[in-house]
Amino acid sequence: MTDKEIFELLSDQRTRERGFSALVKELKEKVYWQIRRMVLSHEDADDLLQDVFVKVYQNIENFNRDSNLSTWVYRIAFNHTLNFLKVQKRKSILKFSNLEDSMLENLKADNLFDSSEIEYKFQKALLVLPKKQRAVFNLRYYDELPFSDIARIMDVSESSLKSSYHFATKKIQESLLNDDNIKFEFIN
Amino acid sequence: MEKKNNPFKVPENYFEDFENRISPFVSKTKKRYFFTENKEVLRYAAMLVLLFAIGGIIYLTLPEGKNVPQTNIASNSLIDTIKQNLIPNVDVEKEVSLLDTEINTKTQQNKTQERKLDELKLNDEEIKYLEYYLQGDIHDYLTYNEIDL
C-alpha cells in the first residue's frame, strides 16, 4: 500500500483504524530499527515505538502533505528518540554517571545483541558521536536512505548532512583504528 | 566487516505481535477523540457553563434584599447621598415628585396627539408625504414623484 493510499484511509474517520493498521504494518520495522540503533536497548525501543505510533494516530490531522507520510513518521520517531536521550542524559548527570558508559554496560549484558567484540567496539565508537551525527550515520549507513530523505526527517540541509556523515565516518574510523587494526569501508 | 550487519535482535514474533499490543493504546486514544470531534457541542456547553457561572456570581454578590429591583436600590441610595452630602437645603423628595408629575403630563399630551393623528385617517400617500416633510426631505419627495410646484 502506498503512502497516499494509507493517508486517504487515515483521513476518513470510518477507515482510520484500517489505515492505521496498514501504516503500522508498513513502517513498524523501519521505525523500530531507527529507534533501536539510537537507544540500543530493546525495551526502550519498544516503549518509544509504541509512543511514536500513538502520537501519529493522535496527530494525523496535523499532517500537512508537504512530505511523505513515512518521512513524517520518521521525523516524529527521530524527535521522540532525541527527547528520550536528552531526558536520560539529564537523569544520568543527576546520578553522577555517564549515559554512554551505562548504555555500553547494558549492551554487554544484553541477550538481544550480538556480543562479538567487533560489534561491541563498533557501537562504542558510534556512541562517541554527538546524537544527531549518530542518527545521520545510522540512517545513511544501515538504512541506506538518500541524503534528501534524511534532510527532510531531520529538517536540515543536505550539504550539512553530507559533511556531518563524512565527519562521523572519519571519527568512527579513527576510534576503531586506535583500538584495533581494522579496515572499514563506508558508503558515501 | 560486512556492510549493514545488524548486531541487534528482537524477541521472537515481536513484530508480528506489535500490532496487537498497540491496539489498546489506540482505543484509549479514541475515547479522547470524543472531545476533539465534538468541538461545536463543547463550545456551546462551555458558553452555557460560563453564563451560569456569571449568573451565579451576580446572584451571590447581590445585597440582602435580593428581590428589590436594582434600579430602586440605586435611586434610593442616590437620593440618600444627595440628601446627606450635596444639597442639604433642597427637599429632594419634593423635587423628584414634581419631575414625576411633569413626565406624566408630557406622556398624557403625547397620547392625546397620537389619538388625534389616528382620527385624521390619512391615506398612504399623505403619510408618505408627511414622513418626508418631517424629515426635511420634502424636495426629495417632490423630485421622486415628479411634482412641480
Question: Do the beta carbons of residue A20 and residue B26 sit within 8 Å?
Answer: yes
Q: Quick check: A29 and B4 CB within 8 A?
A: no
Mean local confidence (pLDDT), B112-136: 78
Of B1, B18, B22, which is closest to A184 when you measure between CB atoms? Answer: B1
Report the residue count for chain B: 149
Q: Quick check: A112 and B10 CB within 8 A?
A: yes
Of A53, A144, A182, which is closest to B22 when you measure between CB atoms? Answer: A53
Q: How far apart are the C-alpha atoms of B32 and A150, rounded to whole Å?
A: 33
Of A13, A36, A185, which is closest to B8 when you measure between CB atoms? Answer: A36
- Please check the confidence at residue B84 and state whether its pLDDT lies above 80: no
Q: Tabulate helix, strand, coil % of chain B (nearest 5).
A: 75, 0, 25
- Please check the confidence at residue B118 and state whether its pLDDT lies above 90: no
pLDDT in tens, A154-182: 889 999 999 999 999 999 988 888 875 55
In Å, how far is B40's CA from the nearest CA of chain A? 17
Output phi, psi for B62, to 5 deg.
-65, 150
Q: Which of A53, A106, A188 to mutate to test the interface with B (most CBs of B within 10 A)?
A: A53
A178 in contact with chain B, both atoms CB, cutoff 8 A = no
Split at pLDDT 50, 70, 90, the class of A36 is very high
Chain A residue at shortest CA distance from B20: A21
Mean local confidence (pLDDT), B87-116: 82
How many angstroms separate the Cα of A160 from the Cα of each of A71, A76, A151, B13? 19, 21, 9, 39
Nearest to A32 by CA among A86, A91, A88, A80: A80
More confident call, B64 vs B91: B91
In Å, how far is B53's CA from the nearest CA of chain A? 32
Of A13, A17, A28, which is closest to B15 when you measure between CB atoms? Answer: A28
- Please check the confidence at residue A188 and state whether its pLDDT lies above 70: no
Split at pLDDT 50, 70, 90, the class of B6 is confident
Split at pLDDT 50, 70, 90, the class of B90 is low
Structural domains in chain A plus CATH codes: 1-96 (1.10.1740.10), 114-188 (1.10.10.10)
How many angstroms separate the Cα of A53 from the Cα of each of A42, A79, B51, B65, B129? 16, 13, 40, 61, 77
- Please check the confidence at residue A28 and state whether its pLDDT lies above 90: yes
- Please check the confidence at residue A150 and state whether its pLDDT lies above 70: yes
- What is the value of ipTM here, to two decimals? 0.82
Using a CB-CB cut-off of 8 Å, the residues of chain B touching A40 are 8
Chain A residue at shortest CA distance from B25: A54
A43 in contact with chain B, both atoms CB, cutoff 8 A = no
> How much is the pLDDT for B114?
80
pLDDT in tens, B7-42: 899 999 999 999 888 877 776 665 455 566 667 788
Q: What is the DSSP string of A37-88?
A: HHH--HHHHHHHHHHHHHHHHHTGGG--TTS-HHHHHHHHHHHHHHHHHHHH
- Please check the confidence at residue B53 and state whether its pLDDT lies above 80: yes
**What is the amino acid identity at position A61?**
E
Nearest to A163 by CA among A123, A124, A132: A132
Q: Which of B4, B8, B15 to mutate to test the interface with A (most CBs of A within 10 A)?
A: B8
Mean local confidence (pLDDT), A46-70: 89
> How much is the pLDDT for B1?
38
- Please check the confidence at residue A183 and state whether its pLDDT lies above 60: no
Q: Quick check: B1 and A118 CB within 8 A?
A: yes
- Please check the confidence at residue B148 and state whether its pLDDT lies above 70: no
- Please check the confidence at residue A59 and state whether its pLDDT lies above 70: yes
Chain B residue at shortest CA distance from A183: B1
B18 in contact with chain A, both atoms CB, cutoff 8 A = yes
Kindly report the pTM of this predicted structure. 0.61
- Please check the confidence at residue B2 and state whether its pLDDT lies above 50: no
Flag the least confident range among A44-58, A133-147, A173-187, B54-68.
A173-187
Report the residue count for chain A: 188
Q: Quick count: other Cβ atoms within 10 Å of Cβ A27?
A: 22
> Is A2 strand, coil or helix?
coil
